[in-house]
């Protein structure tokens, strides 16, 4: 194992050097291609670029600038994380990092031109260089990362790790590593003082006690130690970290409080003392609340203009096909646990309030009317909630509100359930577009609601509204 591990580390170092060299080549190539596209290509000869062939700088002048560009670009790439061997992040984040690095590098390019007084360089060359380099960089990294992921699935160039501590965090960590072999982790076992040697979790064994670190670390077989202690064993954390740092082995801490803290905790620095906030709610910020409310009002007015006539047609059909009111109102729990009346088009026969407030709708429910089946399946019955949005009781996007009976029930059964009431409930939401509507897992729904609450941005709202158009309206779980 030791020889394999040394080879893996050497391969990673070589790969990092190779990335820098390839980036240098691609930068130079992009610069030269941009020059020839601008001055010596069909694009210039066809008049796409205005060109006076007697009045432009030779290639050598551009190459002089390239000498100063290359080191700056590579340093910026480094600080933007393009040389981090991290395959656990999504391709979307890879793409974001590449574009961010190229935009910062473009600003550096402009600074170089200003300092060296090279204002006579062609702007078209600069723009073409930016586009070509970004495209080549994205393509090369997609190919490289796909190749590495494929190799790691086959057991090549793995990172060897041991977990210290058996806990819920350890099980969650193992689950994710086994589900993503492309990350390239190989778990040799778990060290724990409370579990018997040989105890298995998904074929990962407890191979000894925490004291066995004293024997394992000096052998230099491991790339990482993942510290997954349970909460009641955190007194051992300082000693374990000290042992890892003394041996030079990289250590990670996977806290066993994922039920309390968000994925990205909000931290404060009190004169050098780190403080972690248990819950970060971006919508508690006054400016964010104002922006979201303004967006709700604008979107609501647009939606009423678009769906006004269809809503009138549905109202006429409901009135003419069954007895009872057109609009059905129901008490729901909203922001700060306040009750409000939520509006819907009536899709069921009129029933007593005592039966209605405690019952879920079931498949082939005889209470649902003919038009009711259609408007529930297509979510048209939810459109009157636009008036709840206008009144400020709801938002276009947010966790779905629940009836008081079920709120009382779920808050005792499901951890963190009541956190959803720190924001306005929504007409659509992150849980809904991910398939958790109607008769689906409440626990999963809450997980998605909490992700939305803790990671809210206006862009996320737009994304949810956009996806609602394509997969949010048709509800297979609506009966």
pTM for the full predicted model: 0.56
Query: What is the rounded distance in angstroms from the CA atom of residue 130 to the CA atom of residue 73?
Result: 12
Encoded tokens for 472 = 């949010």
The DSSP result for 333-348, as a single string, is E-GGG-EEEEEEE--B
- Separate counts of helices (H) and strands (E) for the chain: 16, 12
Query: What is the rounded distance in angstroms from the CA atom of residue 57 to the CA atom of residue 254?
Result: 57
Tell me the per-residue pLDDT of 63-76, one tens digit each, with 9 for 90 and over: 888 888 899 999 99
Tell me the per-residue pLDDT of 193-245, one tens digit each, with 9 for 90 and over: 999 999 999 999 999 999 999 889 888 678 899 999 998 999 999 999 988 88
Query: What is the rounded distance in angstroms from the CA atom of residue 401 to the CA atom of residue 339?
Result: 10
- Confirm if 403 and 330 have CB atoms less than 8 A apart: yes
Q: Which residues of 303-324 are buried (b: 16+ CB within 10 A; e: fewer)?
A: beeeeeeebeebeebbeeebee
Beta strand 224-227 with 250-253 is parallel
Query: What is the rounded distance in angstroms from the CA atom of residue 320 to the CA atom of residue 242?
Result: 76
Confidence at 267, pLDDT banded by 50, 70, 90 = confident
Confidence at 3, pLDDT banded by 50, 70, 90 = very low
Query: What is the rounded distance in angstroms from the CA atom of residue 438 to the CA atom of residue 477?
Result: 5
**What is the arithmetic mean of pLDDT over 14-34?**
87
Provide, rounded to the nearest whole percent, the portion of the chain with pLDDT above 70.
84
Query: What is the rounded distance in angstroms from the CA atom of residue 276 to the CA atom of residue 345?
Result: 45
Confidence at 290, pLDDT banded by 50, 70, 90 = very high
- Average pLDDT over the chain, rounded to an integer: 83
Instruction: Write down the CATH superfamily of domain 159-258.
Output: NAD(P)-binding Rossmann-like Domain (3.40.50.720)
What is the pLDDT at residue 465? Answer: 92
What is the pLDDT at residue 477? Answer: 54
- By the 10 Å C-beta count (0-12 exposed, 13-18 middle, 19+ buried), 21 is classed as exposed
Tell me the per-residue pLDDT of 304-317, one tens digit each, with 9 for 90 and over: 999 999 999 999 99
Confidence at 158, pLDDT banded by 50, 70, 90 = confident
Query: What is the rounded distance in angstroms from the CA atom of residue 354 to the CA atom of residue 356?
Result: 6
Domain residues of the chain, as ranges?
2-153, 159-258, 284-472
Please determine, for residue 459, whether its predicted confidence score (pLDDT) is greater than 80.
yes
From the list 447, 452, 443, the residue with the least C-alpha distance to 425 is 452
Query: What is the rounded distance in angstroms from the CA atom of residue 296 to the CA atom of residue 288?
Result: 12
Beta strand 266-270 with 273-277 is antiparallel
The structure tokens 């922006």 sit at: 291
Query: What is the rounded distance in angstroms from the CA atom of residue 432 to the CA atom of residue 420?
Result: 14
Under DSSP, is residue 119 helix (H, G, I), strand (E, B) or coil? coil
Query: What is the rounded distance in angstroms from the CA atom of residue 366 to the CA atom of residue 379?
Result: 19
Please determine, for residue 90, whether its predicted confidence score (pLDDT) is greater than 60.
no
Encoded tokens for 403 = 């009836």
Encoded tokens for 236 = 């051992």
What is the pLDDT at residue 44? Answer: 52
From the list 342, 332, 302, 331, the residue with the least C-alpha distance to 421 is 332
What is the pLDDT at residue 393? Answer: 96
């Amino acid at each position: 194992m030791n020889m394999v591990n040394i080879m893996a580390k050497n391969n990673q170092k070589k790969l990092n050097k190779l990335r820098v060299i390839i980036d240098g080549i691609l930068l130079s190539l992009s610069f030269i291609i941009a020059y020839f596209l601008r001055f010596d290509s069909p694009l210039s000869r066809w008049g796409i670029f205005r060109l006076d062939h007697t009045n432009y700088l030779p290639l050598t002048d551009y190459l002089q600038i390239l000498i100063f560009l290359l080191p700056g670009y590579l340093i910026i790439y480094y600080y933007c994380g393009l040389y981090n061997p991290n395959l656990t992040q999504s391709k979307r984040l890879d793409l974001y990092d590449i574009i961010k690095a190229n935009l910062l590098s473009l600003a550096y390019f402009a600074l170089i031109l200003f300092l060296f007084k090279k204002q006579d360089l062609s702007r078209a060359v600069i723009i073409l260089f930016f586009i070509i380099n970004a495209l080549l960089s994205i393509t090369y990294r997609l190919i490289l990362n796909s190749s590495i992921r494929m190799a790691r699935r086959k057991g090549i160039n793995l990172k060897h790790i041991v977990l210290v501590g058996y806990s819920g965090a350890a099980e969650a960590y193992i689950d994710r590593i086994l589900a993503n072999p492309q990350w390239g982790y190989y778990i040799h076992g778990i060290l724990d003082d409370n579990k018997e040697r040989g105890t298995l979790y998904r074929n990962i064994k407890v191979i000894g006690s925490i004291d066995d670190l004293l024997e394992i670390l000096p052998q230099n077989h491991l790339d990482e130690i993942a510290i997954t202690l349970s909460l009641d064993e955190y007194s051992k954390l300082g000693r374990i970290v000290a042992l890892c740092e003394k041996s030079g082995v990289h250590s990670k801490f996977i806290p066993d409080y994922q039920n309390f803290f968000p994925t990205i905790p909000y931290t404060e620095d009190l004169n050098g003392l780190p403080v972690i906030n248990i819950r970060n709610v971006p919508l508690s910020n006054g400016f964010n609340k104002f922006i979201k409310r303004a967006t709700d009002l604008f979107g609501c007015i647009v939606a009423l203009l678009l769906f006004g006539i269809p809503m009138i047609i549905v109202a006429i059909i409901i009135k003419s096909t069954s007895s009872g009111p057109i609009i059905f109102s129901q008490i729901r729990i909203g922001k700060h646990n306040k009750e409000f009346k939520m509006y819907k088009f009536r899709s069921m026969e009129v029933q007593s309030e005592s039966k209605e407030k405690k019952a879920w709708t079931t498949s082939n429910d005889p209470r649902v009317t003919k038009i009711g089946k259609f408007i529930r399946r297509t979510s048209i019955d939810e459109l009157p909630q636009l008036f709840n949005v206008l009144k400020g009781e709801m938002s276009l996007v947010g966790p779905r509100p629940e009836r008081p009976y079920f709120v009382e029930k779920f808050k005792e059964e499901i951890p963190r359930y009541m956190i959803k009431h720190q924001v306005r409930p929504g007409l659509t939401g992150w849980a809904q577009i991910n398939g958790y509507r109607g008769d689906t897992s409440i626990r999963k729904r809450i997980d998605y609601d909490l992700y939305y609450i803790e990671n809210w941005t206006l862009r996320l709202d737009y994304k949810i509204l956009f996806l609602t158009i394509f997969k949010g309206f048709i509800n297979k779980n609506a009966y």
